[in-house]
Amino acid sequence: MARYRVTIDKDACDGIFACMMRDDRIAESDDMLATYDAGEVSEDESVVVAEFDDDRIDDAKQAAAACPPNAITVEEL
């Protein structure tokens, strides 16, 4: 299993939610932008950071690739 971090830039997110079709851990937040509802999540006004230790890094990478404004980044730790 891989340990990895997914970051969502809320300033870049436009709420299209193409990411949600690729990674079911992504949800719509109260501000109608993408957020994670699983893993170790921290969030402020401009960024969501979620860390995982599982075998679903490909789901996160597919979500990042599907994001039209490139608001999602995935990095292995």
Three-state secondary structure string covering the chain: CEEEEEEEECCCCCCCCHHHHCCCCEEECCCCCEEECCCEEEECCCEEEEEEEECCHHHHHHHHHHCCCCCEEEEEC
- What pLDDT score was predicted for residue 38? 84
pLDDT in tens, the chain (77 residues): 889 999 999 999 999 999 999 999 999 999 999 999 987 999 999 999 999 999 999 999 999 999 999 999 999 99
- What pLDDT score was predicted for residue 39? 77
Is domain 2-76 classified as CATH 3.30.70.20? yes
- What's the whole-model pTM score? 0.93
